[in-house]
Chain A
Amino acid sequence: MWLTTFKQFLTLIKKNRFFTFVNLFGISFTIMLVMILQISFESRVWPGGPEKTADKMLFLNRSVISKEKSMQLGGISNCVIKEYILNMKTPEKIGVISYSQWTYIGNNGVTDFVVKGTNAEFLSMFNYKMLEGRMYTKNEVSQSKDVIVINRKVKEQFFGNDSAVGKTIEVQDKLFTVVGVVENVPVNCETAYSDIWYPHTLFNEPLQLFNKTGRWAAVLYAANKTDFDKIKEEAAMIEKQVSAKTDGWVYKLGGPFDVLDNYLIGNIDPRMYVGKNISLLMLAGRMFFILLIPALSLIALNLTRVQERAEEIAVRKTFGASSSSLIRQILFENFMLTLIGGVIGLLMAWISIQLFGDFLFAELSSPANGIVNVTLSLLTFLVCIIVSFILSVMSGIIPARRMAKLKPALIMKGGEL
């Protein structure tokens, strides 16, 4: 039966080219928008590249310190990182990051570099592709050696095609020796991304007070995902211990969050985070609203076809089709059309991202413009099919029910039956 229905569907779309074109245009454009959101969501949560192992990581990016009506929201202070985070027991590896930005004034003008002060463990957590040399070691970090690792872009800017290892770069009146060069990191690998990495001990920052936020972050790498809860418990203990040292302030760490939570929380106050399920539900709700307006237009378009197909529906009912089988048939046809629109929409989304990726990921690639690692995963296809299905049901169910309610006797009256 479905094969015949499919053949009929093909004949119908060939016969009603204008309707098919208008319908497909609406569907593909809508699905393109949804798929751009989906692809950008996936490429930020699971960017791949050096962050391939991110599902074993928990991220600590923020801290909130509050007392009555006062509140500070920012990165983590260096004292909490050095006295507590680096001493955590459960994570297999603890990576720390001190964020900053270097401005280089050279012959070709001013260049801003994203730089990260890290420990050696941080570099070993990510799958950086080493082009030459090596990463800096634990000893070099503890001895505050003036060594750096740079990406290919920086190497080419300073040394062209020559080898960079052993050579020095002068930034802000200080000379640094390059020990390694890595492949450029896609900008959507937000944590792993940098132009230059240096030992976090290089600059002798005075320790901050416990009731201050800072510009540090940490990545906790678990040997096993089952350790996540234990790590979170340990972090909760740290919050209590730090709070006890702050003279009435309440200290909260933003996290530790896994990759998905880390994306969903965005830049909001971590205390306001409603959790994964509700956040995903809210995302789905937003998607539903995006679909609602085109669905209404498609309903109107499909309703115009009710009259056109009235005779066919009447004949089918006369020969024994029940209302439910007719609804199934019409929804199936609508789903097939939506699925074709979905595939076109997905292709359009893919092309748009290739063409306008920089614009879509603007806040990630600033200040350094870089490549974006975007892949189409099985999840993308699955979401495409699910969205197509939802759109087809939303736009098809009312016309289908209207068709199934048609009274054959009334329609056949033209035939004097």
Chain B
Amino acid sequence: MIELKSIHKVYRTKNIETQALDNINLIIKKGEFVSIMGPSGCGKSTLLNIIGLIDNASEGELTVCETLINGQKEKQLANFRNSNLGFIFQRFHLIQSLNVIDNVELSLMYRKMSASERRKQAIQTLEKVGLLHRAKHFPSELSGGQCQRVAIARAIVGKPSIILADEPTGNLDSKMGEEIMQILHNLNKENNTTIVMVTHDEKLAKQTDRIVRFFDGRQVN
């Protein structure tokens, strides 16, 4: 499903060169729930960005869903992200000027789909995360847990085969965190969705199929 071969990432400024990822080789199988752990600045964000096609590797080969990503154009990458990837962020990143249902519809807006079909799918997804009654509310009117559920609905509405989650429970209390984890586990089991989750929480990581650990840009296990 996801294959990284000899991935390197170097950030260059005028005077400094920082090796963010150093020779990463990783295979994540379809339907796997993988946690990525490591201290801050160890490269896990960079890895997730590269898998999510919103950043490029400096060297190496990346294959996602049997498609070689290297050399693809910006528009192709945008379409690929839209069809195959769903993103969940620690800080939700909901669009404040859109209401809940319009936020959920976001990824469908870049697909050829009628407005009514889009709305239907968004409603179904909001129902799944238990937030249909908040459809017309704006993000500023929701609690942190509710925002994250909206973000999950936005990530899964397009039925992506891979979900990339960046500390999805990082901004939530433990009860809310458990609820979110439960939703992710359900997605993984029921839809066979591949999930790659960055976390600092050992307890949450242990609930997943595999833990990949990073230190100073290197994979350590």
Q: Is the CB of B48 within 8 A of A417?
A: yes
- Residues of A near B82 (CB, < 8 A) are 319-320
Q: Is the CB of A322 within 8 A of B102?
A: no
B48, B49, B52: residue with the most chain A Cβ atoms closer than 10 Å = B49
Nearest residue (CB) in A for B81 is A320
Tell me, in angstroms, the Cα distance from A311 to B103 when the chains sit together. 13
Give the interface segment out of A74-82, A237-245, A367-375, A405-413: A405-413
Contact of A8 among B54, B83, B87, B97 (CB under 8 A): B97
Q: Is the CB of A321 within 8 A of B45?
A: no
Q: Is the CB of A318 within 8 A of B87?
A: yes
Q: Is the CB of B75 within 8 A of A324?
A: yes
Q: Is the CB of A415 within 8 A of B91?
A: yes
Q: Is the CB of A416 within 8 A of B93?
A: no
Contact of A320 among B79, B94, B98, B166 (CB under 8 A): B79
- Residues of B near A226 (CB, < 8 A) are none
Cβ-based interface call for B16 (8 A): no
Nearest residue (CB) in A for B95 is A312
**Would you give the shortest CB distance from B154 to chain A, in whole angstroms?**
7
CB proximity to A under 8 Å, residues B95-149: 95-98, 102, 105-107, 109-111, 115
Given A4-B102, A4-B105, A417-B45, decide whether A315 and B93 contact each other with a Cβ distance below 8 A. Answer: yes
- Residues of B near A322 (CB, < 8 A) are 74-75, 78-79, 110
Q: Is the CB of A315 within 8 A of B106?
A: yes
- Residues of B near A325 (CB, < 8 A) are 110
Q: Is the CB of B106 within 8 A of A15?
A: no
Cβ-based interface call for B178 (8 A): no
Tell me, in angstroms, the Cα distance from A319 to B154 when the chains sit together. 9
Cβ-based interface call for A272 (8 A): no
Q: Is the CB of A11 within 8 A of B97?
A: yes
Q: Is the CB of A417 within 8 A of B95?
A: no
Q: Is the CB of A415 within 8 A of B90?
A: yes
Tell me, in angstroms, the Cα distance from A8 to B98 when the chains sit together. 6
Cβ-based interface call for B89 (8 A): yes
Cβ-based interface call for A380 (8 A): no
- Residues of B near A323 (CB, < 8 A) are 74-75, 78
Cβ-based interface call for A281 (8 A): no
Nearest residue (CB) in A for B111 is A320
**Would you give the shortest CB distance from A333 to chain B, in whole angstroms?**
11
A229-248 toward B: CB 8 Å interface, digit per residue (1/0)? Answer: 00000000000000000000
Number of interface residues of A (CB under 8 A): 31
**Would you give the shortest CB distance from A336 to chain B, in whole angstroms?**
14
A294-326 toward B: CB 8 Å interface, digit per residue (1/0)? Answer: 000000000000000001101111111111110
Q: Is the CB of A409 within 8 A of B54?
A: yes
- Residues of B near A320 (CB, < 8 A) are 78-79, 81-83, 107, 110-111
- Residues of A near B49 (CB, < 8 A) are 409, 412, 417
- Residues of A near B106 (CB, < 8 A) are 315-316, 319
- Residues of A near B98 (CB, < 8 A) are 4, 7-8, 11
Tell me, in angstroms, the Cα distance from A3 to B116 when the chains sit together. 12
Tell me, in angstroms, the Cα distance from A11 to B96 when the chains sit together. 9
- Residues of A near B191 (CB, < 8 A) are none
Cβ-based interface call for B3 (8 A): no
**Would you give the shortest CB distance from A244 to chain B, in whole angstroms?**
71
Q: Is the CB of A3 within 8 A of B115?
A: yes
CB proximity to B under 8 Å, residues A1-48: 1, 3-4, 7-8, 11-12, 15
**Would you give the shortest CB distance from A414 to chain B, in whole angstroms?**
7
Tell me, in angstroms, the Cα distance from A12 to B95 when the chains sit together. 11
Nearest residue (CB) in A for B89 is A415
Beyond known contacts A4-B105, A417-B198: 9 more, CB 8 A cutoff: A8-B95, A315-B95, A318-B54, A320-B83, A320-B110, A323-B75, A324-B75, A414-B91, A417-B166
Could you give 6 example pairs across A and B, Cβ below 8 Å?
A11-B97, A320-B107, A412-B49, A412-B166, A416-B166, A417-B198
